[in-house]
């Protein structure tokens, strides 16, 4: 071992020992902190709790291992950084470098391309890509990568040196010499080993160019400088390093920052009289009562309604029922009447209860657009069940409880559920189908008192059952509590909350009840829930709460809970996996002892962008508990409310721009309104307009990012109004819709209202096919549309995929350098599985044309090729309104009959028909109808949305003819549809006519668009095809083509291959994909050894065109791709839509229903999995959230302290085009 190597090893060991010492010191420091007495800890009100940062530790370890040459260990450390879900863009080149050194080049390419997606300007990623391509002998790509580095940093000697190397490898001697000269020009001081190596390389190039005099000058200078660098510095690893080829550990960033602008104290002024809020009739005692003793003889249902129900007190619900942009509010009064107040827009309100017709008694109310009408209706829970007041749009509401299926009573009227005391009606999208479902919390049944002579309310009353109603999409609901897995949800329920507590894209439920701990139900998808309370953590399972709210209090990207109980309050911090840990310590408040007293709420009282708490003590006084990001602190509050008349409920919203209003109702029935005193703060209002999702965007996740500040809000209905401290602008505003579509707005100014409309761009379909047109690659069609894996049908079953298809190509298919080249890309939110790709050539008489039956059918049929001798155009063609559409279907010209009305559920339309007159077709003549067109597919979410709605049937095209009486009769119940864009299907009409009439009618409710229709008399099977040999198949990352979409969805989507989006519109599904590189071995046969593509991948396939025989005189040649494979989209209601696995295989879809087929177990298949299925799917869109505690990291010791696991910055804001 020479001295240099000894130094490297020693230096590496020194780094590791230093790091270990630092970790030990950090652990000992933390141990000392944990052993401090609680009083000492409580004094640290504003100090952040410092703990060792696992993410930074893994980075440091990875760097140390890499620099010592322990690449496997370095890979492991960097992979832990990636697995945290909160890696920086620069972490991926670190992993890529380690993978390159370990010769795992395919995995390295995946890491580096992910880095480029996260930050397209990341120079280190381009440099490492250049090194990778150089090692793979892909010199043109390497040259381009190094040129990008030099464009960003023209003085980098490492980039110039390696650029010269790859140019020299391509025999570009002059260009290589120019690169080496650049290194020499920077001098030894900057160039170091690159300078010395370039001297010798320049000598070599000049010698080959026969320029000995110049060559000798460089050689002499090289001999003079050679001793200034060690030998190891002139070897390949050192010459591939440089500043962009080295592991970089970013400095540890601070925790979540609070934007300045928050006040240290809060004062509110009374606005009640100014707002014109009239008194509401007193309904109960001014001070909440304790439990009530009742004798059996005096008890009746009327007694309970008069004496017991009012104990709950009134509540306030806020919503904009008339859509004028000003929030209105509803006061639910348990003893009645309730009141609706309209916001006049000038700071005053008017009581419009009588006009609106919503005066019924209630405990709680919710505004929601349950029918996606754009009008907010009102759900009121209270004695005798839930009432639904549908918004008529004219300022009045109609009681449609019975009509909506929410009543057990007959249509003659009466209470919906006599005696049942409901405490809440919460609407959310349980199954991501774009419709708001309903959960009703019931407290008890007052019609069934305890079987005792004397009893206590509420203690002796049994709990009731929570009910779940699925939205049918036709303004009605169906009770499906048991089917949803919620039959065990029982108790004296006070409230139900929804949020995604395990970050899987589905909304979960927390049910709060006062006779037992809260219940946590985790959404399993498809509207089914599982009780996971036992795994939620002891802080939740050992609590009994009377009220609760949900928010991301510590801004780590996970939803947390605040529970209000008779013992006080708790803040439970979510881990992001359905587990919670208590935040400690918290300021103490002596809580009210009465079971129905108002206890507190959350609101950003000081305008700093963090949700604070407003708690009520036993005397009725309010306490301001300010959220300091690392804990709560009680600070001064000046708010005088209500005197002896205690608050029954309180709500908050942003009134005039930048001003916080509090609106309360007292137990005595008075309204009290307050406005925060002082100058207005900076604010932002976000209105969500859903299209595929529900209209209000309920369930969408809205994230705000500015530097190190991050906030996450759950949309629950109505505009989202937030304070922003003193931030004049946000870096990113991100909306993740219930459909999982992600939309970013970049550089959003505060102090404004913004509207985010849900993008309707194509998110899932099939892999795209690009072909060479002689000048460039152009989009041709999408493929594998006949083989959707896990797609939902309207009847609740899964569509049966057909993995075999033909794709008709242009007859004059151009060659490119003696080859036919095809690009298959995955550019949507899905995963593609290619089993076999074949190219077939069919030579045939020039008087004929060859067509493939490219049909998607409910019962899979084998693909076929047909010879068409004479195309016959129908005599006439009219739509169902009698309009002449023959000019639209005569030629392939991109024009379609499209006058039918589309439903809000994309892909579904009103029933529409196309009637064709075939003219004088002789009887008994074989007739085949050929139709070319495309379909705007209804996805699994749409199928679920219409599954219980008879008003929106999803009917595949069917064929009718006239019988002898002239009546239309169905002769083909399922005609099939085109399998993809601009594809042709064959419909055999032979023997289908029931009379001499030759009219044919095609009826459907799908959005099918026909471009050309003709028919043939007696077509035949195509001549034998010739298969061209597969020359090569290469899988690699490419990115996303620029999409061109018709906003009305009456023209197919188009993709510009020559233009790439600068950022990824979505992430690939989780799991393992086929490693990049040569995959030709996998595509030669249908053997279940699949090439698996993720979002952004491209599969380039070449066929040797020189193997074709010459055409015979009088013949033409048509080409067809024969494909075998499957496609699976990422829509929430598609089976296994979150993961690549399970991989499909042939026998999977041939097994009897309910009997899953075992996967292949051959030795060859196992080798395939080990050799090819090795590439993990990396996130292309990085999270905005600060560091989230890893799901496996349990709290221990002081881990429950608020902010104990310090959040970390997730990296630069990523620019994703709005609407993507």
pLDDT band at 66; cut points 50, 70, 90: confident
Mean pLDDT of 487-496: 97
Q: What is the pTM of this model?
A: 0.78
Tokens at 515, concatenated: 């006779």
Q: Answer yes or no: are the C-beta atoms of 289 and 280 closer than 8 Å.
A: no
Tokens 């130094």: give the residue.
7
Angle between helices 54-68 and 91-101 (to 10 degrees): 30
Q: Answer yes or no: are the C-beta atoms of 694 and 684 closer than 8 Å.
A: no
CA separation for the pair 1073, 1071 (Å, rounded): 7
Q: Considering the chain, what is the average pLDDT of its residues?
A: 87
SS3 call for 614? strand
Residues with Cβ < 8 Å from 172, sequence gap 6 or more?
none
Single out the residue of 408, 468, 460 nearest to residue 442, CA to CA: 468
Single out the residue of 807, 748, 819 nearest to residue 780, CA to CA: 807
Write out pLDDT tens, residues 369-401: 999 999 999 999 999 899 999 999 999 999 999
pLDDT band at 205; cut points 50, 70, 90: very high
CA separation for the pair 1190, 1205 (Å, rounded): 10
Task: Provide the pairing of β-strand 908-917 with 1030-1037.
Answer: unpaired
CA separation for the pair 509, 520 (Å, rounded): 6
Q: Answer yes or no: are the C-beta atoms of 600 and 613 closer than 8 Å.
A: yes
Superfamily of domain 1-33+48-152+244-252: Tetratricopeptide repeat domain (1.25.40.10)
Which of 404-413, 436-445, 756-765 is least confident?
404-413
CB atoms within 10 A of CB 1085: 12
CA separation for the pair 869, 872 (Å, rounded): 10
Whole-number pLDDT of residue 1175: 87
Write out pLDDT tens, residues 543-588: 999 999 999 999 999 999 999 999 999 999 999 999 999 998 999 9
pLDDT reading at 627 higher than 70: yes
Q: Answer yes or no: are the C-beta atoms of 900 and 1155 closer than 8 Å.
A: no
Strands of the sheet with 560-565, listed across from one edge: 547-551, 560-565, 568-574, 580-582
pLDDT band at 521; cut points 50, 70, 90: very high
Q: Answer yes or no: are the C-beta atoms of 920 and 872 closer than 8 Å.
A: no
Tokens at 299, concatenated: 């008890």
Phi, psi angle pair for 592, to nearest 5°: -65, 150
| Measured CA angle at 858 (ends 1053, 790), to 5 deg | 70
Q: Which overall architecture, per CATH, does domain 870-1018 show? A: Sandwich (2.60)
Whole-number pLDDT of residue 263: 57
pLDDT band at 1180; cut points 50, 70, 90: confident
CA separation for the pair 987, 975 (Å, rounded): 7
Residue with the larger pLDDT of the pair 217 and 31: 217
pLDDT reading at 941 higher than 70: yes
Task: Provide the pairing of β-strand 560-565 with 568-574.
Answer: antiparallel
Q: What is 154-233's CATH number?
A: 1.25.40.10
pLDDT reading at 194 higher than 70: yes
Strand ranges in 486-567 using DSSP code E only, listed in sequence order: 490-491, 493-499, 508-513, 519-525, 528-531, 547-551, 560-565
CB atoms within 10 A of CB 1046: 12
Tokens 């024969």: give the residue.
1122
> DSSP character for 845?
E
Write out pLDDT tens, residues 809-826: 998 899 999 999 999 999
Percent of the chain with pLDDT over 70: 89
SS3 call for 13? helix
pLDDT reading at 1187 higher than 70: no
Write out pLDDT tens, residues 501-517: 999 999 999 999 999 99
Residues with Cβ < 8 Å from 545, sequence gap 6 or more?
494, 512, 513, 514, 517, 518, 563, 564, 565
Write out pLDDT tens, residues 316-328: 999 999 999 999 9
Strand partners, 137: none
Which of 58-67, 146-155, 1166-1175 is least confident?
58-67
CA separation for the pair 319, 391 (Å, rounded): 12
Query: How far is the CA of 249 from the CAs of 62, 66, 78, 240, 734, in angstroms?
Result: 9, 12, 11, 19, 28
Phi, psi angle pair for 992, to nearest 5°: -95, -20
Whole-number pLDDT of residue 184: 92
Task: Provide the pairing of β-strand 315-319 with 328-332.
Answer: antiparallel
CA separation for the pair 3, 8 (Å, rounded): 9
SS3 call for 77? helix
Q: Answer yes or no: are the C-beta atoms of 61 and 19 closer than 8 Å.
A: yes
> DSSP character for 619?
T
pLDDT band at 112; cut points 50, 70, 90: very high
């Amino acid at each position: 071992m020479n001295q240099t190597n000894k130094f490297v090893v020693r230096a590496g060991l020194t780094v590791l020992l230093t790091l270990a010492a630092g970790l030990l010191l950090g652990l000992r420091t933390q141990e000392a902190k944990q052993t401090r007495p609680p009083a000492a800890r409580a004094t640290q009100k504003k100090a952040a709790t410092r703990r060792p940062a696992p993410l930074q530790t893994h980075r440091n370890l990875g760097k140390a291992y890499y620099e010592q040459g322990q690449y496997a260990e370095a890979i492991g450390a960097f992979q832990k950084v990636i697995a945290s879900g909160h890696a920086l863009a620069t972490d991926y080149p670190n992993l890529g470098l380690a993978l390159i050194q370990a010769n795992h080049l395919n995995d390295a390419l995946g890491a580096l391309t992910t880095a480029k997606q996260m930050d397209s300007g990341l120079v280190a990623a381009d440099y490492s890509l250049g090194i990778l391509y150089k090692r793979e002998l892909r010199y043109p790509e390497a040259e381009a990568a190094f040129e990008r580095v030099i464009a960003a940093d023209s003085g980098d000697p490492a980039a110039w040196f390696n650029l010269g190397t790859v140019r020299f490898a391509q025999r570009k001697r002059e260009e290589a010499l120019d690169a080496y000269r650049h290194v020499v020009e920077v001098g030894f001081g900057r160039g170091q080993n690159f300078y010395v190596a370039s001297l010798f390389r320049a000598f070599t190039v000049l010698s080959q160019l026969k320029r000995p005099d110049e060559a000798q000058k460089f050689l002499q200078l090289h001999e003079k400088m050679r001793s200034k660098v060690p030998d190891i510095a002139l070897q390949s690893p050192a010459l591939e390093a440089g500043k962009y080829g080295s592991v970089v550990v970013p400095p540890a960033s601070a925790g979540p920052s609070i934007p300045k602008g928050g006040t240290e104290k809060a004062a509110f002024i009374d606005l009640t009289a100014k707002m014109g809020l009239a008194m509401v009739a007193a309904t109960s005692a001014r001070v909440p009562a304790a439990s009530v003793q009742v004798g059996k003889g005096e008890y009746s249902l009327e007694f309970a309604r008069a004496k017991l129900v009012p104990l709950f007190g009134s509540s306030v619900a806020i919503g904009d029922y008339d859509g004028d942009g000003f929030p209105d509010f509803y006061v639910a009064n348990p003893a009645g009447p309730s009141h609706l107040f309209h916001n006049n827009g000038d700071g005053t309100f008017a009581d419009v209860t009588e006009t609106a017709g919503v005066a019924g008694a209630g405990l709680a109310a919710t505004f929601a657009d349950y029918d996606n009408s754009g009008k907010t209706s009102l759900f009121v829970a209270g004695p005798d069940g839930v009432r639904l007041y549908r918004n008529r749009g004219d300022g009045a509401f109609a009681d449609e409880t019975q009509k909506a299926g929410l009543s057990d009573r007959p249509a003659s009227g009466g209470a919906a559920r006599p005696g049942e005391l409901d405490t809440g009606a919460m609407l959310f999208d349980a199954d991501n189908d774009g419709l708001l479902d309903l959960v009703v919390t019931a407290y008890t049944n007052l019609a069934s008192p305890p079987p005792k002579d004397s009893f206590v309310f509420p203690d002796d009353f049994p709990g009731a059952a929570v009910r779940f109603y699925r939205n049918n999409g036709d303004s009605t609901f169906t009770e499906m509590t048991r089917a949803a897995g919620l039959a065990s949800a029982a108790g004296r329920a006070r409230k139900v909350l929804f949020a995604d507590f395990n970050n899987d894209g589905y909304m979960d439920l927390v049910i709060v009840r006062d006779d037992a701990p809260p219940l946590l139900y985790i959404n399993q998808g498809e509207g089914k829930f599982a009780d996971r309370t036992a795994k939620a953590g002891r802080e939740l399972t050992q609590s009994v709460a009377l009220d609760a709210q949900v928010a991301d209090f510590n801004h780590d990207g996970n939803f947390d809970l605040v529970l209000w109980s008779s013992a006080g309050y708790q803040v439970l911090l979510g881990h992001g996996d359905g587990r919670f840990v208590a935040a400690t310590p918290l300021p103490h408040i002596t809580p009210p002892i009465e079971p129905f007293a108002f206890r507190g709420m959350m609101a950003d009282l000081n305008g700093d962008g963090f949700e604070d708490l407003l708690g009520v003590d036993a005397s009725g006084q309010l306490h301001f508990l300010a959220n300091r990001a690392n804990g709560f602190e009680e600070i001064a509050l000046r708010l005088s409310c209500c005197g002896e008349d205690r608050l029954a409920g309180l709500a908050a919203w942003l009134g005039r721009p930048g001003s916080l209003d509090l609106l309360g109702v007292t137990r005595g029935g008075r309204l009290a309104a307050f406005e925060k005193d002082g100058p207005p703060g900076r604010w932002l209002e976000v209105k969500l307009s859903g299209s595929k999702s529900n209209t209000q965007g309920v369930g969408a996740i809205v994230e705000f990012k500015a530097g190190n500040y991050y906030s996450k809000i759950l949309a629950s209905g109505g505009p989202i109004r937030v304070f922003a401290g003193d931030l004049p602008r946000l870096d990113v505003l991100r909306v993740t819709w219930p459909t999982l579509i992600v939309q970013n707005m970049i550089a959003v100014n505060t102090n404004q209202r913004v509207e985010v409309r849900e993008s309707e761009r194509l998110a899932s379909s099939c892999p795209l096919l690009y072909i060479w047109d002689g000048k460039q690659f152009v989009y041709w069609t999408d493929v594998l549309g006949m083989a959707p894996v896990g797609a939902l049908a309207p009847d609740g079953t899964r569509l049966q995929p057909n993995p075999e298809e033909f794709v008709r190509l242009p007859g004059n298919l151009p060659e490119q350098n003696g080859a036919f080249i095809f690009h298959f890309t995955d550019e949507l939110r899905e995963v593609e599985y290619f089993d076999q790709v074949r190219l077939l050539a069919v030579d045939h008489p020039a008087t004929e044309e060859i067509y493939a039956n490219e049909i998607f059918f409910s019962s899979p049929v084998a693909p076929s090729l047909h010879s068409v001798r004479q195309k016959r155009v129908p005599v006439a063609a009219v739509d169902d309104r009698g309009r002449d559409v023959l000019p639209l279907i005569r030629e392939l010209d991109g024009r379609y009959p499209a006058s039918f009305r589309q439903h809000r559920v994309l892909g579904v339309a009103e029933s529409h028909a196309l009637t064709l007159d075939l003219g004088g077709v002789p009887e008994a003549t074989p007739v085949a109808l050929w139709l070319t067109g495309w379909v705007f597919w209804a996805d699994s979410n749409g199928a679920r949305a219409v599954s219980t709605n008879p008003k929106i049937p999803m009917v595949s095209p069917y064929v009718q003819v006239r019988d002898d009486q002239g009546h239309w009769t169905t002769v083909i119940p399922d005609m099939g549809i085109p399998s993809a864009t601009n594809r042709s299907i064959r419909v055999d009409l032979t023997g289908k006519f029931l009379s001499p009439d030759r009219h044919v009618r095609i009826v459907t409710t799908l959005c099918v668009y026909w471009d050309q229709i003709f028919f043939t008399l007696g077509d035949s099977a195509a001549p034998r095809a010739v298969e061209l040999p597969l020359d090569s198949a290469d899988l690699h990352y490419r990115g996303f083509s620029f999409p061109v979409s018709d906003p009305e969805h009456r023209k197919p989507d188009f993709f510009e291959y020559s233009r790439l989006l600068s950022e990824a519109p979505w992430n690939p599904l989780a799991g393992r994909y086929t490693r990049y590189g040569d995959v030709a071995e996998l595509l030669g046969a249908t053997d279940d050894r699949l090439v698996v593509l993720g979002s952004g991948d491209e599969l380039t396939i070449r066929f040797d065109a020189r193997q074709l025989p010459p055409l015979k005189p009088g013949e033409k040649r048509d080409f067809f791709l024969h494909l075998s494979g499957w496609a699976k989209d990422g829509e929430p209601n598609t089976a296994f839509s979150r993961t690549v696995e399970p991989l499909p295989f042939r026998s999977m879809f041939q097994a009897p229903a309910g009997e899953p087929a075992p996967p292949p177990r051959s030795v060859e298949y196992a080798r395939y999995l080990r050799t090819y299925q090795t590439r993990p799917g990396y996130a292309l869109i990085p999270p905005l959230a600060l560091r989230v505690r890893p799901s496996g990291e349990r709290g221990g010791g002081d881990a429950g302290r608020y902010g104990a696991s310090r959040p970390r910055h997730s990296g630069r804001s990523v620019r994703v085009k709005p609407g993507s």
